[in-house]
Structure formats: C-alpha cells, structure tokens
C-alpha cells in the first residue's frame, strides 16, 4: 500500500472544551513565526465554533496539525500530505515523528495546559483508492503495521480495524494498550 496521505491522532489526557480552543490560535501562529515544527507551515484555521469538530488547525504545505475534537475526543491530529514514493510504514514513521515533535512543543508551551496519553492512537488513511475501507485492505494494513507498532508502543499494544462497521468511513486503525510515554516513544522511534 502506498497512500499519499495519512492521519495520526494522539489523544490528550484531559479533554479541551470548545471554549478553551482560542489560545491554540496564538500558539500555532507563534509556531509558524518561530519555525518551531517540522514542515512548511502556512496559516491557522479556526473551526472552534463547530461542535465536536476539527477545532484549530495549523495548515502546512506537506503536513497539517490540529487540536481536533472530532468524535467528542480531544487530540492532536497530524495529517501528512504529499507522501511521494514512500510506503505506508515509512509514511507512518515520518508522521509519528512530526506528531511527537508537535506534542512536545505543545506540552512545553506555558500558554496552554496540555498533556498527551499514548495508550491509544488512531491511524487513518484518507486515500480511499490506495487504502479502501475493506476487510482485505484492513487485514493487509494490520499485517504491515503490527510489527512496527508493537516495536514502538510495546508488546501489550493491540491494533484493530476501527472503521470496520461503517464502509463509508476511511480505513482507520486503532492502537490501544501502549505502554510508553512521550520521551520513551521518541527514543524508540529514533532507535528503530
């Protein structure tokens, strides 16, 4: 499988309410000005008015970052675009590195109070041609991703086809039971 886009959502320990999204606009603008995150960053979009929606998005040329509240769960959604000729696992590793750098920057920023949990991670493939939401595609993707995910998140991590019940959704995997923190995950990613 060779998708051009992948979405990775790292969930927060505590939810961020719709009314508490405003400070992230300034944080993301500062990240652009300081060139603080990986990727060519362009603009910030405010969707905080949308209930359980995309929240605040930092738009880039090759990657978007957002404080996402879709499905009623707050997290950092990192969407990698323009993958080139990378395979899905390589694209995942690259996206995870970008997401972890952003999570570290957000946790360190004193103007917001945010902490990430790594017991659950969502991985979605918006490219329906390269990654259709079928049982066969999910089985192939799980087979390809399980060794990498277990190496990064630990042997207790489970990976499942989250979007199986609704074929209209994009192919989505859900990792649960990871036994690693931010520093440990960064170290494991650098070593692999």
Sign, CA torsion 86/89/71/69: negative
DSSP secondary structure code for residue 177 in this structure: -
φ/ψ (deg, to 5) at 93: -60, -45
CA distances from 129 to 123, 126, 134 (A): 17, 9, 11
Q: Please measure the distance between the N-terminal and C-terminal CA atoms of the chain and give it in whole angstroms.
A: 21
User: Nearest CA to 68 among 134, 116, 138?
Assistant: 116
pTM of structure: 0.94
Any domain includes 33? yes
State the Cα–Cα distance between residues 19 and 21, nearest whole angstrom.
6
What average pLDDT does the segment 148-161 reach? 91
CA distances from 128 to 101, 145, 160 (A): 28, 18, 18
Total number of domains constituting the chain: 1
Any domain includes 85? yes
Bridge partner residues of 60 (DSSP)? 41
Any domain includes 20? yes
The contacts of residue 34 (CB under 8 Å, 6+ apart) are none
Bridge partner residues of 6 (DSSP)? 80
Any domain includes 45? yes
Any domain includes 1? no
Digit-coded pLDDT (tens) for 159-175 = 999 999 998 999 999 99
Any domain includes 64? yes
DSSP secondary structure code for residue 144 in this structure: H
Structural domain that includes position 103: 6-191
Any domain includes 98? yes
Digit-coded pLDDT (tens) for 43-87 = 999 999 999 999 999 999 999 999 999 989 999 999 999 877 888
State the Cα–Cα distance between residues 118 and 10, nearest whole angstrom.
7
Q: In the predicted model, is pLDDT for residue 92 greater than 80? A: yes
């Amino acid at each position: 499988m060779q998708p051009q886009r992948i979405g990775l959502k790292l969930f927060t320990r505590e939810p961020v309410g719709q009314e508490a999204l405003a400070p992230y606009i300034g944080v993301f603008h500062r990240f652009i000005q300081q060139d603080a995150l990986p990727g060519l960053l362009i603009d910030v979009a405010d969707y905080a008015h949308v209930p359980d929606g995309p929240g605040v998005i930092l738009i880039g040329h090759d990657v978007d970052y957002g404080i996402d509240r879709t499905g009623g769960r707050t997290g950092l959604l990192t969407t990698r675009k323009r993958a080139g000729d990378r395979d899905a696992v390589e694209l995942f590793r690259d996206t995870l590195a970008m997401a972890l750098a952003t999570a570290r920057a957000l946790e360190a920023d004193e103007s917001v109070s945010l902490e990430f949990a790594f017991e659950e991670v969502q991985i979605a493939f918006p490219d329906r041609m390269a990654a259709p939401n079928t049982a066969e595609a999910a089985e192939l993707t799980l087979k390809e991703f399980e060794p990498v995910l277990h190496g990064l998140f630990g042997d207790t991590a489970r990976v499942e086809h989250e979007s199986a019940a609704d074929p209209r959704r994009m192919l989505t995997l859900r990792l649960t039971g990871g036994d690693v923190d931010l520093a440990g995950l960064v170290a494991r990613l650098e070593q692999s």
